[in-house]
Amino acid sequence: MVIARRLVSRLTLPVLLLLPALVIIAGLVGYPLVRTVYLSFTDTGLGELIYGGSTWVGLENFKEVFADEHLRTSLINTVVFGTACVVGTMVLGFCVALLLNQRLRGNLFFGIAVLLPWAVPALAASAIWKWLFDARYGFVNWALVNVGFDGFQDYAWFADRESAYVAIFVTVVWQSFPFVALSLLAGLQTIPKETLQAAAVDGANAFQRFRLVTLPLLRPIVAVLVIFSTIWDFKIFDQVYVMAAGVPDRSADTAAVAAYREGFALSHYGLGSAVAVVLFLILLAFALIYVRLVGREGEFS
């Protein structure tokens, strides 16, 4: 009895602190998630969406996802291109955070400059970069030709998948590195100077200090950033929707765009949901692997 009461009183605080967040998340996203999973096993079209009465089709939609060339490609695109974006964002974000942490002259201006892209909505950013990469009126081709790469005269970036991905990669990294840089900078600044000084006294050079002191202390934040960047970049929609629309045969579509096209446009909501569920499973696998890797270092134990 006493033990039970003590348990209750010990649990009150954490439960009270957790509850609002969990209620908001579960209350809002819970039903849509369950429904999406359910739809992925049915043949729902617009009519069934309005009036109900869809038929259970088992794994048919999932078979279709892997049988259909366009859908299969879109999933592969997602993994390959998404991973590239995560790596690019993390590398640039890390470099910028380290630079900002040097407190050079002009640091303030630099800090604000790199934050600005974060404030631009994805749709607008995609439109601007699409314009900058325009074959005839774009700044990128003009600049490249002027520094001597004549091959870029009227170069059509969006006429095939690889070059379109270069342009989209630049756009995605441009938009997402500020958050990574800022978070890492905040992390760098919570590292006690004394720890680094102690390491310096022990004879560690800058690189060793980074590897042996800074990196391990930043590990929890880096893990969070990698996990969320992966989720965002694998779900990428706006940039691909705007910039890859003209790539022949839509071969640069990613999973989210494919799910949208199957659902909203073609009215195959079951199949569209199945694409989303497969993407979810891929992301879940990635997340569990990350958590495992980080957990081994003791962060989760």
Nearer residue to other proteins within complex by CB, 136 or 211: 136
How many whole angstroms separate alpha carbon 48 and alpha carbon 55?
A: 9
Q: DSSP 3-state assignment of 252?
A: coil
Residue 202 beta carbon to other proteins: minimum distance, rounded to whole angstroms = 18
Least distance from other proteins to the Cβ atom of residue 145, Å: 10
Distance CA(209)–CA(205), nearest Å, equals 6
Inter-CA distances, 147 with 35, 133, 140, 152, 283, Å: 54, 16, 11, 10, 41
> Would you say 80 or 95 has its CB closer to other proteins?
95
| Residue 268: partners with Cβ closer than 8 Å, 6 or more residues away | 45, 262
CA-based nearest residue to 253, from 128, 121, 60, 69: 69
Q: How far is the CB of 209 from other proteins (least distance, A)?
A: 15
Tell me which H or E stretch contains 48.
helix 46-51
Pick the closer one to other proteins by CB: 66 or 121.
121
Residue among 6 and 35 whose Cβ is closer to other proteins = 35
The tokens for 180 are 């990574």
CB of 38 to other proteins, least distance (A): 10
Terminal-to-terminal C-alpha distance of the chain:
30
- Give the nearest distance from C-beta 106 to other proteins in angstroms: 7
Distance in angstroms (rounded) separating the CA atoms of residues 191 and 37: 43
Query: Measured from the CB atom, is 204 or 227 closer to other proteins?
Result: 227
3-class secondary-structure state, position 106 = coil
CB of 16 to other proteins, least distance (A): 8
Of the pair 113, 293, the CB lying nearest other proteins is at 113
**Structure tokens, 48:** 């069934």
d(CA 220, CA 183): 11
Is the CB of residue 204 less than 8 Å from the CB of residue 136? Answer: no
Q: Minimum distance between the CB of residue 117 and other proteins, rounded to whole angstroms?
A: 5
Of 109 and 207, the one with the shorter C-beta distance to other proteins is 109
Helix axis angle, 69-101 to 60-67, nearest 10°: 80
